[in-house]
Amino acid sequence: MTEPAVSVEQFPVEDLLNIHQMIYLPSTLDLLVSHLEKGIAAGGASPDLCSAVLRLYLLYPQCANAEVVRKILVQTIVALPENQFGYYACIAPSHFSNPEDEKKVQDVLTLQELLESCDFKAAWAMLREPEMADVLHTPGVVEALRRYVCEVLQQTFSTISLSDFCQLLNLNAAAAAAAAGAAAAADEKVEKLVKARGWTIEDAAAGQKIVRVVPRETDAPKALATRASVAHKTVEKYLSVEGLRQCLALLES
């Protein structure tokens, strides 16, 4: 493939993502991954940027980097409860010649399956494993998981014991105190999380405490992004007639 004489580095990444002649070139990968790393460090990478890197890996599988794929898949956790995982999982390379590389990607896929099945205790347990430390400490992951757990609780419970609530949110010290029926005020972090959602901590029987969950208002429900809808919208965006024409022209040159 003949690449344009201009350097990709002269374009802002936002412009580069919209230039079909440039976005399908392998030389753009280093720049895109650099911007991806900066976005992750800042608390969340652009979905368009994540998608662009994965699509280049599809076109040039020899360039695929398991560490980068792992980081992109972790960004779907940071974005919870929005669900972009279905699309990313479909286009992300999952088979690598090195078994260690393949495991890096497969572990995140397994974690996502635990989250989709609402097996939150198992998900937190997996994140506490040494080889998942990079995922656990990715900016925004813990906050996103707790936010997602609360979204699920809001749709399924009216009350839940404080002990169970803390376990589901991986607040283990607070969970132990609640299970022991400690009469002291609830942990400050727990109180902050509960108060932020307009919920309350109340006394229950036998000296136990419960979290009273305020149901979500149903007059204007927010449409949830499903795997199918996310994939459909992304295909529409990136596989437009013009986009395919430009891509074919590059491949034929």
Q: Name the range with the highest mean pLDDT among 73-82, 216-225, 241-250.
A: 73-82
Judged against a pLDDT cut of 80, whether residue 229 lies above it is answered with no
The DSSP-derived string for 13-76 is HHHHTT-HHHHT-GGGHHHHHHHHHHHHHTT---HHHHHHHHHHHHH-GGG--HHHHHHHHHHH
Alpha-carbon distance of 232 to 104, in angstroms, equals 27
What does the pLDDT look like over 67-100, one tens digit per residue? 999 999 998 888 887 776 677 778 888 788 899 9
What region does 200 belong to: left with phi over 0, alpha with psi -120 to 50, or beta?
beta
Q: What is the mean pLDDT of residues 188-200?
A: 91
**Encoded tokens for 222:** 């927010």
CATH of domain 8-145+228-252: 1.25.40.250
For residues 93 and 70, is the Cβ–Cβ distance under 8 A? no
Domain coordinates of the chain in residue numbers? 8-145+228-252, 159-212
Higher pLDDT, 127 or 207: 127
Q: What is the mean pLDDT of residues 228-242?
A: 53
pTM, full prediction: 0.73
- Residue 170 is given by DSSP the state T
Q: In angstroms, what CA-CA distances link 16 with 9, 185, 244?
A: 9, 53, 17
